Amino acid sequence: MKAQPSNKTSSSNNYRPGVWQLIRPFWVSSEKWRACLLIAIILTINFTTTYALIALNQLHGQLTDALVGLNWPLIRNTMVKSLAIGTISTLLPLISVLAISYLTLRWRTWMTNRYVELWTHGAAYYQLERDNLISNGDQRIAEDINLFTEVTINLSTNIINVLVNVVTFTILLWGLSGALSIPLGSGTISIPGYMVFAVYLYSFAHLALAHWLGKVLIGITMNKQTVEADFRFLGMQVRENAEQIAFFGGGAREGQRLLSRFTRVRNNTLLMMRKTFKLNFFQSMFTQVFSPLPTLLALPLLLTGKITMGGLTQITMAYGMLLNTLAFFPQAYQSFTQWIALANRLRDMLWALNKARDMPAGIRLAYGGTALCCEALTLLRPDGTVLSRLSDWQVKAGERWVVRGRSGSGKSTLLRACAGLWPYGEGTITRPQTVRTLFLPQKSYIPVGTLKSALAYPDGPDTFTDLQYRQALLDCCLAERIGSLTQSDRWQQVLSGGEQQRLAMARVLLHRPDIIFLDEATSALDPETEGRLYQALLDRLPSSTIISVAHRKELTHFHQHILTLMPEQDH
């Protein structure tokens, strides 16, 4: 079976896992009770605030009537109550905001842990880059999860709040507004709770307007996250490759590239500003045009003596409260579009991580025996073209092989396949089960930190004794660095290319692997130092199996066997 990367952009959006798969795991995790408690606190505060607003509505009606009738004791009484309830309705939302922030942080922490785990598990981070499945995975974890949890909690608590308020204010307004009698021919028709119908009709029109003008914002917001992340990524690349760029005198070119990426950020922001302005402008116009509506609608009741002036105040206030509550949907349209865009980016990431995990490997990796065996191995490029074929190759324990071949013939790819990092191809690779294997590329990763932790990577710095560190540095011609063992630095920038290769070789001597793959791991060294390093390897690890990819002829005499890879066209 051939493993082929599929192109998600060529299919519809169906490849994305459901949005529920982003949300559900946290709410069924061990965090669920604490999260539910926080939600309960938030909702209780919100409902209490709603009832405080209703009480204020009644008090304002009473106050208006008391003012009209100059009833001083009632005026004083209602004012004191209004002040007390007003204070509660102002302070409670502050506690609600705190609880929302805390819940968001807990969810973000949980989701970040999960996505970091998925991303770093196996070699998913490598597969995502190798097959170009998604861009900026790291930034999706850092930025999109943060915004997604925040917007989801804000929107969902607001929606629950709004729904409760809608029911409450609808009942209130229905009770206050009474029926509208319209003379029709010889009789009259009566519309009970007519103001409620008016609010709903108005709000529906408002929402339709918001959807019509705002749906374009979904794509623009998704693009915003992408172009911002691309811009940041290029900046990071310049920082990481500062020296190489400086040698090439590439500053101006990088400046152009950065500015051209920023132009995409700027253009997208301008587009977003235009569309948001258009949305807000028409929404405001709509609200403004219909602002006298509640007074006009309640006027017949006042004129026919069905309500007092205080009743009119109460009705218009209740109408306003219901209207403001329903206005949440059109006003939050922008947040909805942002939420969909963020969810889509995270769903894409989940899709890519699942795909990396479930990808069928064309090359079967098996464990057993004491030799490394490749049987009927065909290495393919990701596009399915044949890179190289290898009939049967067996490396017995303790043997030393050098792999040769023209540039691009697939030497590194063969090593990737042996490491289980290259699924494209056919055949079987069998590796001894219990032995420790180490792969050394041309440029090894050196984490920021002490020299000890750089040498011990991927194990911790306490894995080896000071004596072992010193001996490894001496063996690898790095005696002058012994004094820096506990010094913390950015060693990848500080050490020369050759020093980095010597450090990587010292790492091999410390870890004492049984099988060592060296992919042009000494290419930056002068032949003499290279020879000394290989000799140290042979002296210190005489029973280790060594497979070296190397172009230099001088290295041949450190090995007993040669494997020559032929590109497919040479067969």
Ligand X SMILES: Nc1ncnc2c1ncn2[C@@H]1O[C@H](COP(=O)(O)OP(=O)(O)OP(=O)(O)O)[C@@H](O)[C@H]1O
Question: Binding residues for ligand X, per CB under 6 A?
Answer: 130, 381-382, 387, 405, 407-413
Closest approach of ligand X to the CB of residue 454, in Å: 25
Element (H, E) at 565: strand 561-565
Closest approach of ligand X to the CB of residue 377, in Å: 13
Closest approach of ligand X to the CB of residue 120, in Å: 19
For ligand X, give the closer residue by CB, 177 or 413.
Answer: 413
For ligand X, give the closer residue by CB, 232 or 552.
Answer: 552
For ligand X, give the closer residue by CB, 169 or 422.
Answer: 422
The answer to whether the Cα torsion of 541, 542, 544, 545 is positive or negative is: positive
Closest approach of ligand X to the CB of residue 550, in Å: 10
Rounded CA-CA distance 500/14 in Å is: 46
For ligand X, give the closer residue by CB, 108 or 411.
Answer: 411
For ligand X, give the closer residue by CB, 215 or 443.
Answer: 443
* SS3 state of residue 407: coil
Cβ-count burial of 28 within 10 angstroms (0-12 exposed, 13-18 middle, 19+ buried)?
exposed
Closest CA to 530 of 561, 510, 494, 504: 504
Closest approach of ligand X to the CB of residue 565, in Å: 7
For ligand X, give the closer residue by CB, 271 or 421.
Answer: 421
Element (H, E) at 405: strand 400-405
For ligand X, give the closer residue by CB, 405 or 513.
Answer: 405
Closest approach of ligand X to the CB of residue 143, in Å: 26
DSSP assignment string, 313-357: HHHHHHHHHHHHHHTHHHHTHHHHHHHHHHHHHHHHHHHHHHHHH
Chain centre distance of CA 394 = 43
Chain centre distance of CA 185 = 65
Task: Count CB atoms within 10 A of the CB of residue 2.
Answer: 13
Closest approach of ligand X to the CB of residue 425, in Å: 11
What is the 3 state secondary structure string of 347-402? HHHHHHHHHHHHCCCCCEEEECCCCEEEEEEEEECCCCCEEEEEEEEEECCCCEEE
Closest approach of ligand X to the CB of residue 257, in Å: 22
For ligand X, give the closer residue by CB, 381 or 470.
Answer: 381
For ligand X, give the closer residue by CB, 41 or 386.
Answer: 386
Write the CB contacts of 14 (distance below 8 Å, at least 6 apart in sequence): none
Closest CA to 326 of 220, 190, 199: 199
Rounded CA-CA distance 413/386 in Å is: 12
Closest approach of ligand X to the CB of residue 521, in Å: 12
Q: How far are the Cα atoms of 402, 431, 515 from residue 375, in angstroms, in the given order?
A: 18, 12, 19
- Residue appearing with tokens 């073209």: 385
